[in-house]
Amino acid sequence: MPPTTSIPRFLLPQRGLIWTKSSATLQTIRYASGGAGKAKPAKKASKQIVLEKPAKFNPPSHPAKKWKEPRQYPGPKLSEEEAASLKHKQYPNMMPPKGTFMHWFVNNKSIHLYITLGTLTTLAFTVWFTTFQRNSPFADMLPAGSQFFLHPIAYTRTFFEVLKLTSDYQTQETIERRKARVEDVSKRDAYRKAHGLDKQQGFGGWTAKSDDEMLGSGMRIGDGKKAEVDDASPVVAEEDVQQQQPEKRERRPVKKWFGIW
């Protein structure tokens, strides 16, 4: 039989298994109330609204503050004559006003075009004329520069005559230079053929084919063999060299201007 004496609560431990049983035996008591019970709606958690990030910057349609024109404090109203005079008034460090000669000169494109082209043409002619005087072998035949203003027609006629002489001289000089180069090449070719260097060198000569290959399969006069000659005879060797040399055709001299075209 369990003891009837009770132990004071303050002597018992505050926590332990002995209190679990007693807490389970507690009963919930519901007290009656005069009014019908209404369920209180649960408070929604306040969330901050986050806007979607735009694809580009969209400025507002209206500024934050209405724009106002700055206040102006004009003087008395100008008359029509005074307002018209302001358009033709010259201000310092400003463009010339309309209706003046300087305004027409500054804003006219044709005037600037003529000035630019005239300056470039004058410079080009001056450079060409000084070069012509320095390089022409007939420059001493040119009259003095002062004669151009005294006798312009005679000066121009003399100048074109000297120009024609210089052009003919340069053309003849170019022809002689080309002729010398052709003769030099012909002499080298004859020397190679006379000493048999064209056959030994192969591709070193003017062509890789022999004379028979160059002639092709056409009909040959005689037996097609070279005549046997005495190498000791100087006359025969000279004739052989003359036969081996290619025939030279005199080229008609082409008249060229300034030695170029």
Please check whether residue 239 lies inside any domain of the structure. Answer: yes
Tokens of 10: 């303050």
d(CA 81, CA 255): 74
Q: What is the pLDDT of residues 88-110, one digit of tens each?
A: 888 888 888 888 899 999 999 99
Please check whether residue 176 lies inside any domain of the structure. Answer: yes
Question: ∠ CA 32-34-37 to the nearest 5 degrees?
Answer: 80
Please check whether residue 55 lies inside any domain of the structure. Answer: no
Please check whether residue 185 lies inside any domain of the structure. Answer: yes
d(CA 121, CA 13): 122
d(CA 44, CA 77): 68
DSSP string, 152-169: HHHHHHHHHHHHHHHHHH
Please check whether residue 196 lies inside any domain of the structure. Answer: yes
Chain centre distance of CA 111: 30
Please check whether residue 131 lies inside any domain of the structure. Answer: no
Residue-range definition of the domain harbouring residue 167 = 161-205+235-245
Q: How many domains does the chain have?
A: 1
Chain centre distance of CA 65: 50
**More confident of the two residues 84 and 246:** 84
Choose the most confident range, by mean pLDDT, from 126-135, 192-201, 242-251: 126-135
**More confident of the two residues 8 and 168:** 168
**More confident of the two residues 53 and 210:** 53
What is the mean predicted confidence (pLDDT) over 38-43?
A: 60
Q: What is the pLDDT of residue 71?
A: 82
Say which residues have a Cβ less than 8 Å from residue 98's Cβ, sequence separation at least 6: 87, 88
Dihedral pair phi/psi, residue 258, rounded to 5°: 60, 20
Q: Give 3-state DSSP helix, strand, coil % of the chain, rounded to 5.
A: 50, 0, 50
Residue that has been written with the tokens 């082409």 in this structure:
254
Tokens of 229: 């000659």
DSSP 16: S
CB atoms within 10 A of CB 97: 14
**More confident of the two residues 157 and 66:** 157
List own/partner pairs for 191-199 with CB under 8 A and 24 or more apart.
193/244, 194/240, 194/241, 194/244
d(CA 261, CA 258): 7
Q: Are 240 and 229 in contact (CB under 8 A)?
A: yes
- Say whether 180 sits in a helix, a strand or coil: helix
pTM: 0.41
d(CA 97, CA 221): 97
Q: What is the mean pLDDT of the chain?
A: 76
DSSP 224: S
